[in-house]
């Protein structure tokens, strides 16, 4: 099925591509997100909590409703993944369908699993089984880690020389006995590296400190999207059945920029990509956004909550392709003030433009 078959059949509506968030988006500020904004989404939350109860895990209702945020508890893979999925799926349900026609969905890293769920390729029970299983893979110890580093200038334009040098340093690190590091995620103007402890430590030594915060190690993150996760991929295939997958109802753009069309998707290939390829190979979120804008020419991009950390990375992708004439960070900020192209549901003022009715999304 060609992308032309997804043309807008609702000319009165705005065409939107929905972007699903990855790990690390449920932070201290997001505590209570479900309770505060989605008290009406009881059916979704019950499916998740019932599944987790069967696994002997804490309910997301309890985690979201805690008085204090706990780094140890809320960032642990088995909890963060289910919490983020619940918040994002609830946000998706809250999008005003009278105003917005969702023409495609995509996501960053773990956001691919959420994209599968909101697009209908995973029914609710199957979605939490897959997301919770993958999120719980590191319960007995996190394999490797992730580190993020910018390869852009102050105007949010890619600096090819910096990128080239950073990749050269990565190659040097991989010559060190016992060190292993790979590109994990292409994230707009940032590279996320995945590697073992030795590899990340050696690369960190080579990278100049920028903005007083990078290179930044991502707490409680495993080396997903690298060959270090080969064993995790194999284990996942023994635990999760192909029968969990359904044909999507909305086109999905994956971490290679491939479009999975409704009704035409090869479910065996989708299963292999989801539990194989994207677990062990780089996730190119930048490519997914490029395909989203060029194939679907949306009127808006909607980023589901919790959090709004993906906004910068998406904006950097738009600048790279000079979308809507944006060439610098200042152009993007100006565009967002005049006629926002990115609507992040984790930001209250932008959220109001996305949902129907009151702030609960009902």
pLDDT band at 12 (very low <50, low <70, confident <90, very high): confident
Going from the C-alpha of 49 to that of each of 56, 79, 314, the distances in angstroms are 10, 11, 32
Q: Which residue has the higher pLDDT, 13 or 9?
A: 13
Q: Does a cis peptide bond (omega within 30 degrees of 0) precede residue 306?
A: yes
Residue 30 has pLDDT above 80, yes or no: yes
Considering the chain, what percentage of its residues have pLDDT values greater than 90?
Answer: 91
Q: Is residue 1's pLDDT more than 70?
A: no
Cβ partners under 8 Å of residue 167, min gap 6: 183
Strand partners, 344: 303
With a cut of 80, say whether residue 10 has pLDDT above it. no
Mean pLDDT of the chain: 94
**Is the alpha carbon torsion for 277, 128, 288, 319 positive or negative?**
negative
**What's the pLDDT band for 139 if we cut at 50, 70, 90?**
confident
pLDDT exceeds cutoff 70 at 7: no
Does the pLDDT value for residue 359 go beyond 80?
no
Task: Please give the Cα distance from 18 to 107 (Å, whole number).
Answer: 8
Peptide bond connecting 104 to the previous residue in cis, omega within 30 degrees of 0: no
Task: List Cβ neighbours of 353 (8 Å cut-off, separation of 6 or more).
Answer: 340, 343
What pLDDT score does 220 carry?
A: 87
Residue 64 has pLDDT above 50, yes or no: yes
* Mean predicted confidence (pLDDT) in 187-210: 98
Per-residue pLDDT tens digits for 68-122: 999 999 999 899 999 999 999 999 999 999 999 999 999 999 999 999 999 999 9
Q: What is the pLDDT of residue 199?
A: 98
pLDDT of residue 9: 52
From the list 145, 242, 158, the residue with the least C-alpha distance to 194 is: 145
Residue 37 to residue 164: CA distance in whole angstroms: 43
Mean pLDDT of 348-357: 91
What does the pLDDT look like over 305-330, one tens digit per residue? Answer: 999 999 999 999 999 999 999 999 99
- Name the burial class of residue 147, with classes exposed (0-12), middle (13-18) and buried (19+) by CB atoms within 10 angstroms of its CB: buried
Give yes or no for a contact between 26 and 87, defined as CB atoms under 8 angstroms apart: yes
The mean pLDDT of 247-262, rounded to a whole number, is 98
Domains and CATH numbers, the chain: 12-140+230-351 (3.40.366.10), 145-226 (3.30.70.250)
Residue 197's Cβ-side half-sphere holds a number of Cα atoms within 13 Å equal to 4
Distance set, CA 281 to CA 166, 198, 203, 228, 284 (Å): 19, 20, 19, 10, 9
DSSP one-letter code for 152: B
Task: Read off the tokens for 24.
Answer: 């690390």
% of the chain residues with pLDDT over 70: 95
- Among residues 81, 185, 64, 83, the alpha carbon closest in space to that of 133 is found at 81
Q: How many CB atoms lie within 10 A of CB 134?
A: 23
The radius of gyration computed from the CA coordinates of the chain, to the nearest angstrom, equals 20
pLDDT band at 361 (very low <50, low <70, confident <90, very high): very low
């Amino acid at each position: 099925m060609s992308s032309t078959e997804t043309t807008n059949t609702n000319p009165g509506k705005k065409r939107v591509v929905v972007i699903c968030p990855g790990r690390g988006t449920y932070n201290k500020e997001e505590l209570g997100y479900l309770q505060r904004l989605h008290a009406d989404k009881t059916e979704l939350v019950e499916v998740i909590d019932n599944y987790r109860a069967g696994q002997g895990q804490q309910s997301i209702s309890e985690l979201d409703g805690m008085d204090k945020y706990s780094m140890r508890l809320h960032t642990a893979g088995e909890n963060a993944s289910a919490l983020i999925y619940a918040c994002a799926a609830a946000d998706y349900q809250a999008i005003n369908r009278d105003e917005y026609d969702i023409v495609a969905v995509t996501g960053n890293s773990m956001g691919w699993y959420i994209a599968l769920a909101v697009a209908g390729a995973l029914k609710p029970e199957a979605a939490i089984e897959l997301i919770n299983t993958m999120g719980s893979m590191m319960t007995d110890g996190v394999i490797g880690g992730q580190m993020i580093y910018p390869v852009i200038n102050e105007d949010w334009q890619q600096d090819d020389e910096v990128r080239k040098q950073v990749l050269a340093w990565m190659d040097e690190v991989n010559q060190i006995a016992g060190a292993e590091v790979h590109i994990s995620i292409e994230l707009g103007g940032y590279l996320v590296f995945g590697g073992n402890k030795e590899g990340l430590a050696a690369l960190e030594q080579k990278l100049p400190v920028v903005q007083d915060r990078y290179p930044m190690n991502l707490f409680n993150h495993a080396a997903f999207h690298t060959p270090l996760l080969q064993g995790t991929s194999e284990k996942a295939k023994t635990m999760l059945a192909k029968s969990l997958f359904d044909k999507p109802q909305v086109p999905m753009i994956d971490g290679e920029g491939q479009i999975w069309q409704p009704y035409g998707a090869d479910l065996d290939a989708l299963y292999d990509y989801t539990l194989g390829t994207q677990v062990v190979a780089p996730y190119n979120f930048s490519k997914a956004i490029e395909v989203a804008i060029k194939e679907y020419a949306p009127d808006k991009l909607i980023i589901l909550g919790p959090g709004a950390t993906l906004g910068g990375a998406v904006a950097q992708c738009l600048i790279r392709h000079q979308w809507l004439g944006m060439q610098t960070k200042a152009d993007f900020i100006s565009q967002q003030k005049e006629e926002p192209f990115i609507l992040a549901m984790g930001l209250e003022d932008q959220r109001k433009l996305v949902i129907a009715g009151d702030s609960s999304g009902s």
